[in-house]
């Protein structure tokens, strides 16, 4: 059946922010007297709602959580807004999808305020029909709930949807929802190519613009 809808993850798929987020976390750990987490280590936790196991692995105690969260937030607020950017092929790809009649959604495991802020900051508001955050659902990725909510709001059946993401949780969410899954593996993706391959996407691409050929868009 012809696809008419694309649902995208945000961070690492549309937003090129892996390096920035890792840098912010490293600065947080160092300022609190802890060893910097390696990028490979950070990637195992990045993009999910609970980072605390990574903190505990580096010697933080539960009593440290409030101070650690506050420190992270201060560094994040100072550094992230000026650093957030789209991958180079995102805007052109989404504009071509919209011009060809596709409806477009974002499904993110981040909070609504964060999602809305990033959409506005990157100038995506006019290209997105629906955005679903973790505040809109009871169960986040890899549960099918966020994706099913997005396509229900769009009024599109699952068989007409392509779900695009850079993490195994995105691909598992798509599978759980009965939706065609596309993994994006490139510099800046949160999961490695090997991790994505183990999640068995329907197809893997190395740049977002390749989605246009899959959708029959020139």
pLDDT in tens, 93-133: 999 999 999 999 999 999 999 999 999 999 999 999 999 99
Residues 9 and 24 in one domain: no
Rounded to whole angstroms, how far apart are CA atoms 91 and 208? 10
Residues 147 and 41 in one domain: no
Give, as one character, the DSSP assignment of residue 134. G
* Domain count for the chain: 2
Residues 147 and 101 in one domain: yes
Residues 204 and 127 in one domain: yes
Q: Which of 62, 79, 96 is the last residue of a domain?
A: 79
State how far the alpha carbon of 214 is from the alpha carbons of 10, 67, 85, 108, 203, in Å.
Answer: 20, 47, 25, 23, 10
CATH assignment at residue 52: 1.10.150
Interhelix angle 18-31/65-79, rounded to 10 degrees, is 130
Query: What confidence score (pLDDT) does residue 47 get?
Result: 62
State CA 175 to chain mean position distance.
17
CATH assignment at residue 148: 3.40.50.1000
Residues 101 and 208 in one domain: yes
Q: What is the mean pLDDT of the chain?
A: 94
Residue 32 token pair = 């609190």
Residues 97 and 197 in one domain: yes
Residue 61 token pair = 């105690």
Domain that holds residue 200: 5-16+85-214
* % of the chain with per-residue pLDDT over 90: 87
Residues 100 and 186 in one domain: yes
Residues 90 and 186 in one domain: yes
Residues 97 and 205 in one domain: yes
State CA 41 to chain mean position distance.
18
Query: For the chain, give me the number of helices (H) and strands (E)?
Result: 10, 6
∠ CA(33), CA(65), CA(53), 5° rounding?
Answer: 85
Question: How large is the average pLDDT for residues 184-198?
Answer: 95
Residues 65 and 154 in one domain: no
Tens of pLDDT along 36-80?
999 999 988 876 656 788 999 999 999 999 999 999 999 999 999
Residues 109 and 159 in one domain: yes
């Amino acid at each position: 059946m012809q696809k008419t809808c694309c649902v995208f993850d945000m961070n690492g798929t549309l937003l090129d922010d892996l390096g920035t987020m890792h840098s912010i976390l490293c600065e947080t750990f160092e300022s609190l007297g802890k060893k910097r987490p390696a990028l490979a280590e950070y990637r195992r936790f990045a993009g999910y709602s609970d980072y605390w196991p990574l903190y505990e692995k580096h010697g933080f105690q539960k009593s440290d959580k409030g101070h650690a969260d506050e420190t992270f937030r201060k560094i994040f607020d100072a550094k992230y807004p000026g650093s957030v950017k789209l991958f180079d092929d995102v805007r052109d790809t989404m504009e071509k999808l919209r011009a060809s009649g596709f409806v477009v959604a974002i499904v993110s495991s981040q909070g609504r305020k964060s999602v809305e802020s990033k959409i506005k900051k990157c100038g995506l508001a006019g290209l997105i029909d629906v955005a679903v955050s973790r505040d809109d659902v009871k169960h986040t990725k890899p549960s099918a709930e966020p994706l099913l909510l997005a396509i229900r709001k769009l009024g599109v059946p699952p068989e007409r949807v392509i779900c695009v993401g850079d993490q195994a949780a995105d691909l598992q969410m798509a599978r759980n929802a009965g939706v065609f899954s596309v993994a994006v593996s490139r510099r800046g993706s949160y999961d490695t190519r090997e991790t994505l391959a183990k999640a068995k996407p329907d197809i893997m691409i190395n740049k977002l613009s390749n989605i246009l050929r899959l959708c029959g868009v020139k």
